Amino acid sequence: MPGKVVALLGSPLLDGNTAYLLDEAIRGAEEAGCEVEKIEVAHLDIMPCMEYFQCMGSENCLIEDGMERYFKMFREMDGLIIATPVMTMGIPGRLKSFMDRFQVFYMAKYHRGRSFITPERRKKRRMLFISIAGMNLPSVFDGAKATARAFGEIIDCPYRDEVLQNDMDTIRDIRTRPEVVEAAYRKGFELGRLLGEESEGSM
């Protein structure tokens, strides 16, 4: 069976630089044989986590707004690609809000001690993180990467690789940096190839 990859677009711009890099990574993963489902997070009609803590003793969220579909998708996926711009030295609010709704995974893993993902499957799951930033600062990705790593631990899909480009206020158009575009494609392909190999090995 082909590997299943979820691709999260954290930017509200559907045709911007972040989306362009994500599409290249998706193209790579698909050409490596994976099935990819793209989620344009900023355009989802979902609520933020209200910290009702119903999920402390249950696998379900009290808020009924369609997130159940994504919880199921994240339990079944083999790989994750997150593509986001840096905003206020972190990730955009809608993407962070989406991640916060995975409190159901957090409670299962850390409070009930029964993660939705087995240790064997965790070893096979991988995250590719893609991010751009306007400022040319050495620490500009620190906050976004820390959030992505924490999210990966909560959902048992560890952070494995990255494509980063700062100084976008000067560069403006990511297509003028073909080496970065190529890196997004190549690392997407590598993610797909690895997931495909492990899927075949589990048959």
The Cα–Cα gap between 172 and 137 comes to 16
pLDDT (0 to 100) of residue 200: 59
Sign for the CA dihedral angle at 71, 25, 45, 53 comes to positive
Average pLDDT, the chain: 94
Which residues touch 133 (CB under 8 Å, ≥6 apart)? Answer: 85, 86, 140, 141, 144, 164, 165, 166, 167, 168
pTM flag (> 0.85):
yes
pLDDT (0 to 100) of residue 199: 62
Q: What are phi and psi of 83, to 5 degrees?
A: -125, 125
- Reply yes or no on whether the pLDDT at 131 is more than 90: yes
- Reply yes or no on whether the pLDDT at 201 is more than 60: no
Percentage of the chain beyond pLDDT 70 is: 95
Q: What CATH number is associated with residue 11?
A: 3.40.50.360
Are residues 130 and 22 in contact, defined by beta-carbon separation less than 8 angstroms?
yes
- Reply yes or no on whether the pLDDT at 122 is more than 90: yes
Strands 35-40 and 79-85: unpaired
Number of domains composing the chain: 1
The closest of 193, 194, 127 to 154, measured between CA atoms, is: 127
Q: Which two tokens stand for residue 202?
A: 């589990």
pLDDT (0 to 100) of residue 56: 63
pLDDT (0 to 100) of residue 1: 79
37 - beta bridge partners? 6
Beta-sheet strands, E only, within the chain = 4-9, 35-40, 79-85, 126-132, 159-165
pLDDT (0 to 100) of residue 63: 84
- Reply yes or no on whether the pLDDT at 121 is more than 80: yes
165: containing domain: 4-201
Q: What is the pLDDT of residues 86-110, one digit of tens each?
A: 999 999 999 999 999 999 999 999 9
Place of tokens 């494995």: 160
Distances in Å between the Cα of 162 and the Cα atoms of 36, 85, 115, 145, 166 are: 18, 13, 25, 9, 13
- Reply yes or no on whether the pLDDT at 203 is more than 60: no
3-state secondary structure of 172: coil
- Reply yes or no on whether the pLDDT at 137 is more than 70: yes
